[in-house]
Amino acid sequence: MIAEDSWLDLKGKVAVVTGAVGGMGQKITEELAKQGVNVALVDIQMDRTESYAKEISEKYPVETIAVSCDTANEDNVKSAVQTVVDKFDRVDILINTAAILRSSLFEDLSLADWKKTLDINLTGYFLMSQHFGRVMIKQGKGTLIHISTMLSKFPETYSGAYSVSKAGVNMLSKQMAAEWGQYGIRSNCILPSLVQTPLSKDFYADPEVLKERERVTASKRIGTLDDIANAVLYLASDRSEYTNGGELTVEGGLGIMMGDQIAKPGGRREYALKHK
Ligand SMILES: NC(=O)c1ccc[n+]([C@@H]2O[C@H](COP(=O)([O-])OP(=O)(O)OC[C@H]3O[C@@H](n4cnc5c(N)ncnc54)[C@H](O)[C@@H]3O)[C@@H](O)[C@H]2O)c1
């Protein structure tokens, strides 16, 4: 089924999704296909990418292509551009999701892990954006969407170079927005925080972890893949035409909860009720 007369009006567009068979990549790919968007699925896991591309084109009346590409390798990225342009003739939307997280105490973080994280999470986003962005510059239109994280604003302890790499992504996005707005290109980041994905579902199987994670968000729930995909669809569409260089938080208000972390005798709520 495809969404007819959708408010988003994305039917017939061409999108490239990196990390296309990851938790978020799969959901984003499917939601784009539901809107009638043709999708180039980019990932290093080729078998899974090919079978998922086939699954999507059988389920929805859209064309898909599986592209084997290490986004941190410039030759791979150049040939991905060629493959996509040969197939679809144009690229309207790029969604960067391919990233890794290598946990480590900072004093133990190896140079190899530091470099690998920056290579994939930052240089990979740069290479994909620059090379697909050149196609968009020629077209005079395009939108770049980068999946960043709230942890680009706040260092997550023991996550190695992850927060540093994502802080770089936020500025990379703004740099392109500032230089390429004149060519009809928009570049925006999405900042998720706690999202249930196939990989994180073990965390949420522990009721104590779930309760604590819900407690620290204003909305008192964990994010879903739908929450993220909805933000992607909005930024992909012309409905967000005047949003450029932005950071869209999709995190249930986790980032505004600093005041709530400050302990009061007996509990914050109880204290307020007692002292009103
Ligand atoms: N899952 C969360 O809770 C969460 C929260 C905030 C932000 N994010 C961000 O969302 C994005 C997606 O996260 P996810 O949970 O779907 O991750 P995931 O690990 O499920 O998927 C990542 C995908 O990227 C691919 N990939 C890795 N290195 C690659 C490379 N060099 N070239 C091409 N493909 C490569 C992997 O094969 C995998 O399919 C990431 O950028 C992550 O930082 C995730």
DSSP calls for 64-126: EEEEE--TT-HHHHHHHHHHHHHHHS---EEEE-------B-GGG--HHHHHHHHIIIIIHHH
Query: Is 166 strand, coil or helix?
Result: helix
As a whole number of angstroms, the distance between CA 225 and CA 23 comes to 8
The model's pLDDT over 205-244, given as tens digits with 9 standing for 90+, comes to: 999 999 999 999 999 999 999 999 999 999 999 999 999 9
Q: Is the pLDDT of residue 120 over 80?
A: yes
Which mutation among 46, 193, 197, 224 tests ligand 1's pocket best, with the greatest number of atoms within 8 A of CB? 197
Q: Quick check: 123 pLDDT over 90?
A: yes
Average pLDDT over residues 250-266: 96
Q: Give CA–CA dist 116/254, Å, rounded.
A: 28
Residue 60 has pLDDT above 90, yes or no: yes
Is any ligand 1 atom within 6 A of the Cβ of residue 243? Answer: no
254 C-alpha to ligand 1 centroid (Å): 21
Catalytic residue among 162, 183, 204, 242: 162
Work out the pLDDT band at 37, boundaries 50, 70, 90: very high
Nearest CA to ligand 1 atom 34: 43
Beta pairing partners, 162: none
pLDDT at 174: 98
The b-or-e profile of 156-187 (16+ CB within 10 A means b, else e) is: eeebbbbbbbbbbbbebbbebbeebeeeebbb
Q: What order do you get walking across the sheet with 14-18 strand by strand?
A: 64-68, 38-43, 14-18, 93-96, 142-147, 185-192, 247-250
Q: What residues pair up with 247 in beta bridges, in sequence order? A: 189
* Atom 39 of ligand 1, residue of closest alpha carbon: 22
Would the CB of 252 count as within 6 Å of ligand 1?
A: no
Could you tell me the two tokens for 135? 């196609």
Residue 162 annotated in active site: yes
Q: What percent of the chain has pLDDT over 70?
A: 100
Please give the structure tokens belonging to residue 166. 């994502």
The protein residue with its alpha carbon nearest to ligand 1, atom 13, reads: 24
How many angstroms separate the alpha carbon of residue 167 from the centre of ligand 1? 16
* Separation of alpha carbons 66 and 42, rounded Å: 6
Residue-wise pLDDT tens digits, 196-212? 998 888 889 999 999 99
CB of 223 sitting under 6 A from ligand 1:
no
Whole-angstrom distance, CA of residue 54 vs CA of residue 252: 34
Instruction: Name the strand (E) or helix (H) holding 186.
Output: strand 185-192
pLDDT score at 202? 86
**Average pLDDT of the segment spanning 233-259:** 98
Any ligand 1 atom below 6 A from CB of 29:
no
Query: In this predicted structure, what is the pLDDT of residue 229?
Result: 98
By percentage, how much of the chain surpasses pLDDT 90? 95
In the prediction, which pLDDT does 61 show? Answer: 97
* Ligand 1 neighbour 71 (Cβ under 6 A): yes
Q: What per-residue confidence (pLDDT) applies to 170?
A: 99
Q: Are strands 247-250 and 93-96 parallel, antiparallel or unpaired?
A: unpaired
- Over the chain, what is the mean pLDDT? 97
What is the per-residue pLDDT across 10-33, written as a single tens digit (0 to 9) for each? 999 999 999 999 999 999 999 999
pLDDT band at 44 (very low <50, low <70, confident <90, very high): very high
Question: Can you give the pLDDT at residue 169?
Answer: 99
Whether residue 199 has its Cβ less than 6 Å from ligand 1: yes
Looking at residue 130, its pLDDT comes to 99
Compute the distance from residue 120 Cα to the ligand 1 centre, in Å.
10
Residue 249 Cβ inside 6 Å of ligand 1? The answer reads no
Q: Is the Cβ atom of 43 under 6 angstroms away from ligand 1?
A: yes
DSSP for 46-58? Answer: HHHHHHHHHHHHH
DSSP-based three-state secondary structure for 174: helix
Pocket test for ligand 1, best of 29, 43, 132 (most atoms within 8 A of CB): 43
Mean pLDDT (whole number) for 50-76: 98
